[in-house]
Structure 1
């Protein structure tokens, strides 16, 4: 997934393109039946959904999101670096930390975006051309309310048969979040023409804009 100048990456991305086309189009999902109340202040959510470049890019375009950081969750501090995580045996998943204004966007709406356009919740340890436990989908909850809302929404989507297969996204407690290296921050914004981004990630942002125009903002979070 990294090092876009390498031929194997290009071939893998092209091979995955047609298979992932349907998911790249996004899937409009019902709003959560159970959601957090809107309130002033600041809140944080942590999600994992494959390569953090694309997940970061999606949430950077959600109205009410203040900042998004790419990083690692699920393992320990000693192995929270790209080289170790790439081995797939650290317990870490490539993740994003989303800081948002709960008066503008709710946790439930973030879940809606996550399941709809940020990743495919039915693929185990794989997203697009990337495979391994580090690319699993997961919701790292920081509070009992986040756990309740995540499980309630997944149950709602399952009952509605929103997907063709079972949801395999993990719902697990947040034990820590470690920022990824600088080269992985704001990657989509800084590398909009990279082939990996064009094939795998830009369609997700376009789907967000098309499916949820009220939640989409053309401005990038992080004040840039």
Structure 2
């Protein structure tokens, strides 16, 4: 395991060793229920489509989408900044404009962009936290949707408005809608991190509950065996 990870996730490890628990990414921890799917979820053509999701540390977001039926690839990386600064060491400074992002490739005949949005807002992260997720703070951990098509942008915009109107969230949704972003894959040692290091304290506290919430709330979309970058 890269030595830098110890320092990066020290805060999460300390919380774990002290027996504390960070909030699950749901709004009703006692009996979590999924938020409604989008009212408008236009059909997509083609055998494959891509979507970009930023919701804090990419380890957990990648881990969630790797367990979703219809997802054929989920890659951790960076979006929102320039190519020359799309490296872990630069992005963690918080001044490059990037957000830790996961590129999800999926089969539209199996799962729609709207359903991926539902999972993103239900279990992959907390969209009411501005420029942080759990122990990770900075704009590089912001909640954002980098739309790749005009249809994605409109679907995301309408869905956020729909969710705001439900009153299910403990605060306003702060997810940014950022079009025309370029995705840059992260270093190989970040890929499949949740699967490779399931006992790492940060993963145990912050990310495994997300996968469990996916299994519980979206049983029809959950698959036990994740699709891994290292297998492709």
Shorter-chain TM range is over 0.9
Quote the RMSD (CA, aligned, Å). Answer: 2.1
* TM-score under structure 1 length normalisation: 0.93
Aligned residue pairs, count: 223
Q: Take 2:39 and 2:70, find their aligned partners in 1: how far apart are those partners?
A: 20
- Which runs of 4 or more aligned residues in structure 1 lie more than 3 Å from their structure 2 counterparts after TM superposition? 4-9, 12-19, 21-27
The alignment status of 1:47 with 2:43, answered yes or no, reads no
Provide the residue aligned with 1:11 in structure 2: 14
- Deviation, 1:17, is 4.8
* Residue 32 (str. 1) matches residue 35 (str. 2): no
Is 1:164 aligned to residue 170 of structure 2? Answer: yes
Is the 8 Å Cα contact of residues 12 and 201 (structure 2) preserved in structure 1?
A: no
User: Secondary structure, in 3 states, of the residue corresponding to 1:45?
Assistant: strand
TM-superposed deviation, 1:32: 0.8
CA distance in 1, matches of 2:197, 2:59: 10
TM alignment of 1:1-224, pairs within 5 A: 3-4=5-6, 7-12=10-15, 17-21=20-24, 23=26, 25=29, 27-37=33-43, 39-222=45-228, 224=231
Q: Note closer, same or farther for the CA distance 1:22–1:83 as it changes in structure 2 (3 Å cut).
A: closer
- Normalising by structure 2, report the TM-score: 0.90
Give 5+ residue unaligned stretches, structure 1: none
The DSSP-based 3-state class of the residue aligned with 1:97 is strand
* Structure 2 portions without partners, runs of 5+: none
Distance of 2:216 and 2:82 partners within structure 1: 38
| Aligned mates of 2:171, 2:149 — CA distance in 1 | 28
